[in-house]
Amino acid sequence: MDFEFGVEDEAFRGEARAWLEAHLTGEFAAGRGLGGPGSEHEGAEVRRAWERELGAGGWIGLGWDPDAAPTSYEKCSPYGNRGATLTQQVVWAEEYARVRAPGRYGHIGENLLAPTLLAYGSPEQRQEFLPAIASGEQMWCQGYSEPGAGSDLAGLRTAAVRDADGTYRITGQKIWTSLAHDADWCFVLARTEPGTARHKGISFLLVPMDQPGRIEVRPIRQLTGTSEFNEVFFDGAVARAEHVVGGEGNGWQVAMGLLAFERGVSTLVQQIGFAEELGRVLREAARSGAVTDPVLRDRIVRQWAELRTMRWNALRTLGGTADPGAPSVAKLLWGGWHQRLGELAMQVRGTLAALGPYDWSESNPYELDALQRLFLFTRADTIYGGSDEIQRGIIAERVLGLPKEPLGNRTVAEDKGSSQGTQGGDR
C-alpha cells in the first residue's frame, strides 16, 4: 500500500538530497532537529533564516502548481517555487526528515494560506502574497479560535466593521494562535455582517500584524514552560477591502476549505516526525532495560503497528476524493496514538521520569528533556485541532447516518469548524 516511486521521482530525490547536503551546513547544521510541536521556541532565529534559504532554492510550495513542469527541478512556478508531483512532494518530505532539517517556521503560510489563496483568492491576492511566502520572507499565523469559540468555531464574536474608505476595523480576541509573536500577517475570521449568527456573515480577512496599539500579542505559558501559543487582541486593527478572501460574508466556506488542505502530504510529514519520536522512545527503552518487560514490549510493538496503519490510511486517501469522515478519522487516529506515545515514554523510563535533567539550576528551574516535553505536550492532543468528542459526532452523523445529537439549536456535524489544526492550536 506504499507509493510506487518512478524514475523521475528518484531523480527528484537525488536533487533534493544533494541540495540538502550542500546547504544544511554552518549555522543551519546547528539547527538540525530544532523546532516542531512542543519545541517551537527552539532556534527561532536560525529557523527563520533557513526559511529564506529554502525559498532561495525554490523548495517552498512544491504542491502549489502541479502543472508547472514538475520534472525540470527548476523554479518554474510563477510564484518562484519549483513544480512537483504528489509523489515528489512525499520524496521531499522524506528526505527533509531523514537529515533532521530544522522544523519549518513558515508552514502556516505555505500549507494553509497558500492553497486557500489558490482556491479562493483573487489573482491580485495570489500575486501579492504567494511570492513572499515562497521566498521564505513572510510569516503567517491563523486567527480562528476564540475563548468562547473553539470547538464551536461558528460562535466567534470578533467583528470587523467597514469604514467609508473601504477598510475594515477589527475588534475582538483570538486565542491559541501559534507563532503570533513572530508573524508578519494573520488570516482572521471575523463577523462582517452585524446581526448574523452561526456560519453566516463571516469573512476571511488578511491582516498585517505590525499595528502597534491596535494589535496586542500575549504569550500563553504552557505546561511545558514554553510559549509557542498566544492570545491576540484586536482593538480597531485595520484590514484593507482588497484583502478579503472569497468575498465578504463567504468566510465560512473559505475557512472550511482551508481546513481540508491540512490533509495530504502534511499528514505524512507529521508521521515521519512521529516515527523519529518512537525511535527515541525505543532507544530509551533499550537503555533503561524496559524492553525486557513483556507488557511494555507489547505496547512498543502496538505503537509501531498503529503508526504503520496510520501511514497506510494516509496513503489511501492521499490525492483522492476523501469521504466526509476522513479528516475526523485521521485526527482520532493520530491524536490518541501520539498521546499514548507520550505515556509510553514515561513508562519505559520508570521512576526516573519524575526527575529533571542534571543541569537544573535556580536560574533555569523548569527545563525538561525531550521525552518529558513529549509527555506533557501530548496531553492536549485529543483536545486541540478538534476534540475527540466532536470528531466522533461528525463521523456518527455525516458518515454513519446516526440521529443528530442536539446542541441547543445546532448539531455536532454543523460545528465542523472545530478542526483547527493538525498539530496544535491555530496552526
Residue 410 — φ and ψ, nearest 5°?
-140, 180
Name the strand (E) or helix (H) holding 3.
Answer: none
Indicate the helix (H) or strand (E) that contains 234.
strand 230-239
Question: At 235, which helix (H) or strand (E)?
Answer: strand 230-239
Closest CA to 220 of 229, 209, 210: 229
389: Cβ contacts below 8 Å, ≥ 6 apart: none
CA distance 83 to 46: 26
Dihedral sign computed on CA atoms, order 127, 129, 133, 135 = positive
Taken as a whole, the chain contains a residue count of 427
Q: Are 192 and 201 in contact (CB under 8 A)?
A: yes
Nearest Cα residue to 130 out of 192, 42, 55, 218: 55
What amino acid occupies position 70?
A: P
Closest CA to 340 of 305, 365, 294: 305
**CA-derived radius of gyration, the chain:** 22
CA within 13 Å, CB half, 208 = 11
Residue 84 backbone dihedrals phi, psi, to 5 degrees: -165, 140
Active site amino acids: 262
In the numeric block, which cell numbers belong to residue 306? 498503529
User: Residue 372 burial (CB < 10 Å; 0-12/13-18/19+)?
Assistant: buried
Q: Which of 108, 261, 81 is nearest to 183 (CA)?
A: 108
